[in-house]
Chains A and B, each alone.
Chain A
Amino acid sequence: MNADAYHAARIFAAPHAHGGGEIRRTMLRVQLALAPATLFGFWLYGWPAFFLWLLTLFFAQVFEVMSLRLTGNAGQVGFLGDGSALLTGWLLAMTLPPWSPWWIGALGAFIAIVVAKQVFGGLGQNVFNPAMAARVALLVSFPLQLTAWVVPLPLSGLDAPGFLDGLRITLGQIPVPDAMTSASLLGYAKTELSRGLGLAQALAAGHAPQLSWLGVRAGSMGESSALLILAGGIFLLATGVIRWQAPLGVLAGTLVPALIAHAVAPETCLDAASHLLSGALMLGAFFIATDYVTSPATGTGRLVFGLGVGLLTWIIRTLGGYPEGVAFAVLFMNALAPLIDRGIRPRILGRTRSGQPIRNAGK
């Protein structure tokens, strides 16, 4: 072929090169980072956890495709699309009680994908984190189902439900026996406190925070193993998918007040380790507060955002009516994110922070 045969198909703007980044790959990396904790959760809570996870992801994707069809954007993605709906479904599944009936997952997926995301204009346009919005909506609507944490029954154990029993539990045909449920650490502490018991006395009776590192205790998949979540977070940091500001902010925002409060009032305030390792804090720090769409765009803004999430989480846990507050804190800070972005902007080269050209700097 000769150069004179060349005719551009259309007008191309510079640059004529690309770094190769893809939304799909970013989403895939986050899913990869979630995988270890999820697999561990399957082992810990058995087949029902697996079915719930599968159903939540399935419904999330179904609702995504349906919404895109309705808004006339279906042509742009294949069935798996950019992977964002699967990730949202996955994150939601991580925060649900593992033995929840199927309709909790389906309804959650509907709220997350349709109400919290597509109604706002689809990917990139939503104000609130879809997974957290769905979780909060479910929690206030179905408090009973959303606090039915089962004690871990490792898949290898004898009394763990088998494949078919697991399916029946997820389909709601077998009610979760009361004997198998237990309060999460935070829920337990809150209940005991409200009964007027001191924490030292209450926690002596079996709940050992050390177990939180490994996660062998009642809770959602997302809080089962702080260690594996942390490993996933470090993987994301290392691959550059997320930056350090938001996770650090969240952890510091909870850690600092927890340390102070526990030192001042050990009987009424949980220790820092319990705060950090319980509930959705680790998941929130590395996977929720780092959501690009609903957090500020600057590094400093993300630090502020993270600190807000962490601090609010501690306040809700310690002073509020709910034992856990990550989801509420995230939603609250989501609403503030545009404001943070307005207030915190990087200094443009050659200008002062107020936007005026600098005067002979460095001369």
Chain B
Amino acid sequence: MMAVLTLTLLGAALGLALGIAGRLLAVEADADVARLEALLPGTNCGQCGFPGCAGAAAAMAAGDAPPSCCPPGGKAVALALAEKLGVSLDLSSVLDEGPKLAVVAEDLCIGCCRCLKYCPTDAILGAPKQIHNVLKEACTGCAACVEHCPTEALIIQPMPVGWQHWVMPKPAAA
């Protein structure tokens, strides 16, 4: 009887202590919208399905979107967001195929200039009746332009890797 009482009391006391500790020492989720938005690419490309990066940040802060909702951001952005949000991230849910790039198929481009105004980073150069070009340094591969091309001349491709930026593969696990 005594033992049961002792254990019950012990359990209750420890449980209480744990509860209080959980409250007091909780990891502060530092998730105000502005800080989340600062981590996002800021291109408002709309691939996440929210109205712009601010919309996505608000949704994530409210818990309506996972930290992995930004496709152009890839793994790096998802990890940073998860850290800010104080949640663990299932990396397998992040589709990171490396940086991407839009390229103009020169035989298809008719120089209509329609794509120019949809590019969130002004990465497409073009004049009427001239073949357009994509600035590699400015393009984020967000694909916002693709659907606006009447001749399907914009193609999203993986960013080519030069030998200077080549990364030694990780050794296969033993």
Q: Interface residue count for A (Cβ, 8 Å)?
A: 3
- Bound together, the chains give a CA A76 to CA B174 distance in angstroms of 9
Beta-carbon contacts under 8 Å, B143-174 to A: 168-169, 171, 174
Which residue on chain B has the smallest CB distance to residue A73? Answer: B174
Interface string of A1-14 (1 = CB under 8 A from B): 00000000001010
Residues of chain A lying within 8 A (CB to CB) of residue B174: 76
Interface string of A75-93 (1 = CB under 8 A from B): 0100000000000000000
- Bound together, the chains give a CA A171 to CA B169 distance in angstroms of 54
Beta-carbon contacts under 8 Å, A64-114 to B: 76
Which residue on chain A has the smallest CB distance to residue B166? Answer: A11
Residues of chain B lying within 8 A (CB to CB) of residue A76: 174
Which residue on chain B has the smallest CB distance to residue A14? Answer: B168
Beta-carbon contacts under 8 Å, B24-44 to A: none
Residues of chain A lying within 8 A (CB to CB) of residue B168: 11, 13
- Bound together, the chains give a CA A177 to CA B171 distance in angstroms of 58
Residues of chain B lying within 8 A (CB to CB) of residue A13: 168, 171
Interface string of A239-257 (1 = CB under 8 A from B): 0000000000000000000
Which residue on chain B has the smallest CB distance to residue A124? Answer: B174
Residues of chain A lying within 8 A (CB to CB) of residue B169: 11
Q: How far is the CB of B16 from chain A (nearest CB, A)?
A: 31
Which residue on chain A has the smallest CB distance to residue B168? Answer: A13
Q: How far is the CB of B170 from chain A (nearest CB, A)?
A: 10
- Bound together, the chains give a CA A247 to CA B14 distance in angstroms of 44
Q: How far is the CB of B8 from chain A (nearest CB, A)?
A: 31
- Bound together, the chains give a CA A48 to CA B169 distance in angstroms of 54
Q: How far is the CB of B173 from chain A (nearest CB, A)?
A: 11
Which residue on chain A has the smallest CB distance to residue B171? Answer: A13
Which residue on chain B has the smallest CB distance to residue A76? Answer: B174
Residues of chain B lying within 8 A (CB to CB) of residue A11: 168-169
Q: How far is the CB of A77 from chain B (nearest CB, A)?
A: 12
Q: How far is the CB of B2 from chain A (nearest CB, A)?
A: 29
Q: How far is the CB of A222 from chain B (nearest CB, A)?
A: 32
Q: How far is the CB of B167 from chain A (nearest CB, A)?
A: 11
- Bound together, the chains give a CA A11 to CA B172 distance in angstroms of 12
- Bound together, the chains give a CA A13 to CA B168 distance in angstroms of 8
- Bound together, the chains give a CA A250 to CA B169 distance in angstroms of 43
- Bound together, the chains give a CA A294 to CA B169 distance in angstroms of 31
Q: How far is the CB of B163 from chain A (nearest CB, A)?
A: 12
- Bound together, the chains give a CA A7 to CA B168 distance in angstroms of 18
- Can you sample 5 A-B contacts with CB below 8 Å? A11-B168, A11-B169, A13-B168, A13-B171, A76-B174
Q: Which residues of A contact B (CB under 8 A)?
A: 11, 13, 76
Which 5 pairs from chain A and chain B are nearest by CB?
Answer: A13-B168, A11-B169, A11-B168, A76-B174, A13-B171
